Amino acid sequence: MNDAIARPDSERETDPMLDVRNLSVSFMQYAFGLHQRVFTPIIGLDAEVYPGEVLAIVGSSGSGKSLLAHAVLGILPSNARVRGEIVFRGETLSPERQAALRGREIALVPQSVNFLDPLMHVDKQVRLGVRNGRAEQSQREVFERYHLSEKAGRFFPFQLSGGMARRVLVASAVIAGASLVIADEPTPGLHPEVVKETLGHLRELADEGKAVVLITHDIDAALDIADRIAVFYAGTTVEIAPVADFLGDGTALKHPYTRALWEALPSNGFKPIAGSQPPLDALPEGCLFEPRCCCATGECKDSRPSARRRRRRMVRCLNPLDAGRGEV
Amino acid sequence: MNLKAAGVGFRYGQGPWVLRDMDLEVEPGAVVGLSGPSGRGKTTFARVLAGYETPLEGKVTLDEGPLPRGGYSPVQLVFQHPERAVNPRWRLSDTLTEGWDVDESLLGALGVDPAWLDRYPNELSGGELQRFCVARALSPQTRFLIADEMTTMLDAVTQAQLWRVVMDAVKERGLGAVVISHEKPLIDKVCDRVVYMS
């Protein structure tokens, strides 16, 4: 139905700011003395984000959304092994390059208030993001922008309310002027007006030509500001689609998991599906969503679908749902 | 049989009053929403209701009596950030059975995978951890559940899954619940009535 919307080929083929290709991340764990076990929570992630664009990444928790952010920044724990390719501005991101770029060119708005130093006043923490020039001045400006009072700056993190803590996290990421901003659940638990404002600031950054990755479980937030939405499940990207596909009755969505996610929204029926993502030590041989899928066939049990791309859309499914119809 | 807050006031140390004159009454089987802008003391109120803080003014009562000071509390609080509500040095199996012997059907309904039990909290996602926190809080002895932004960090499918389990307990055994959330669609879906804190 979206093809009806006139979309002239205005999608200029600029190079992506960030291009993640077939990323996998494994963790080594010790079990029973010196016996090692390997978990692979990210199996095949693909995502690309262009300058001037907000790419929202939504999906079940544990689908690898946060790990992707941490992999891009190079801040995974030391027992992690990363395969696949992460390209930033056309060049592969090596650990050395990540260390040089993070906090400058690539900034993170983290998921948890645990990322704040619990023993440092928040105004000082925010100033750490400025490596040259007038740290105090920049901090004051960014506090003003996010409606944080001077008094709030003298707080320790535990004294901040959930909403204030969130604004401090956004402020500390934005202060360095990064060209790629990865916001990992920047708005949970915030008042709708504050959510709107925070998301508005992310949209603003994209409109200034920066690339913004918004990692969120909140499809409504994604719909508000994103250009495209990537849906993750069990460490794979199952679908990437323009925001328009998520509007209306959801039947433009092609992957059964995307459809289930849409139907689980409180405003769309609040309908859960049973089970959970497959355990990492017992992954299905075929499609990772097959055990919970509405529409799986025998074929889905045997083989893993690969990503099918068309322009800036992607779907990874052997039996994608038809537009306008509930079933295949 | 009700959980009741009457004229509750609370502040941390000599700081400003976070709560003043708060009244709330929840009867078994009722689901009451608590909404309002951040910084209005919703989380503090949740902590007072669950007995984590003692009110400086007014009182919180269960069945007209004080909340029990020891043992498993019949008023359980599920926090917004599960990673801060579990012991990082315990395997999840120990965290899960801290309060009671959780039965397998509950774990199944919550979509907890047995393989997660051997893991440490930093190896699980927030959504996976929160399933443990909900299971831990839903002992048969639990009469009231305070859900402080319980599913705020979760994806829609997991959110619907956890709330189905909680709402089943509300229907089947008269669990009472206080739901703190900013998400109006969620409040509209699960709550019988809403108290707005401004």
Residue A13 — very low, low, confident or very high, per pLDDT cuts 50/70/90? low
- What does the DSSP assignment read for A6-32? ---S----PPPSEEEEEEEEEEEEEET
- pLDDT-above-90 percentage for chain B: 83
Task: Determine the distance in angstroms separating the CA of B70 from the nearest CA of chain A, rounded to an integer.
Answer: 26
Q: To probe the interface with B, which of A233, A276, A281, A294 has the most B CB atoms within 10 Å?
A: A276
- List the 128-147 stretch of B: residues with Cβ below 8 A of A: 128, 130-131
Neighbour tally for B102: CB within 10 Å: 19
Residues B158, A270: Cα–Cα separation, whole Å: 10
The phi, psi pair for B161, rounded to 5°, reads: -65, -50
**Residue A316, amino acid:** R
Give the whole-angstrom CA distance, residue A295 versus residue A297. 7
Q: Which amino acid is at A244?
A: A
Q: How far is CA A293 from CA A249, A258, B104, in A?
A: 19, 11, 23
State the pLDDT at residue A104. Answer: 87
Structural domains of chain A in order of their starting residue, each with its CATH number? 2-105+178-315 (3.40.50.300)
| β-bridge partners, B61 | B4, B66
Residues 308-327 of A with CB under 8 A from B: none
Q: Could you read off the pLDDT of A70-108 as tens digits, one per residue?
A: 999 999 998 899 999 999 999 999 999 999 999 889 999
Q: Which has more confidence, A157 or B56?
A: B56
Tokens of residue A328, six digits: 């295949």
Contact B185/A281, CB-based, under 8 Å?
no
Instruction: Determine the pLDDT at residue A76.
Output: 92
A63, A214, B168 from A204: Cα distances, Å: 28, 13, 43
Least confident of A279-288, B129-138, B169-178: A279-288
Q: What is the pLDDT of residue A5?
A: 42
At A7 the pLDDT is 38
Q: Per-domain residue ranges for chain B? A: 27-40+69-192
DSSP A40: E
Q: How far apart (Å, rounded) are the C-alpha atoms in residues A21 and A86?
A: 6
Q: Share the mean pLDDT of chain B.
A: 94
B-contacting residues in A 34-53 (Cβ below 8 Å): 39
* A217 and chain B in contact, CB less than 8 A: yes
Q: Amino acid identity, residue B26?
A: V
Q: Are A73 and A98 in contact (CB under 8 A)?
A: yes
Give the C-alpha separation, B156 to A60, whole Å: 7
Could you tell me if B78 and B150 are in contact, meaning their C-beta atoms sit under 8 angstroms apart? yes
Mind listing the pLDDT tens digit for each residue in B122-169? 888 888 999 999 999 999 999 999 999 999 878 899 999 999 999 999
> Smallest Cα–Cα separation from A235: which of A87, A79, A26, A19?
A26
Instruction: State the pLDDT confidence band at A190, using cuts at 50, 70 and 90.
Output: low
Q: Superfamily for B27-40+69-192?
A: P-loop containing nucleotide triphosphate hydrolases (3.40.50.300)
pLDDT in tens, A105-130: 999 987 667 788 899 999 998 898 88
Alpha helices in B40-79 (DSSP H): 42-49
Q: Which residue of B has its CA nearest to A192?
A: B182
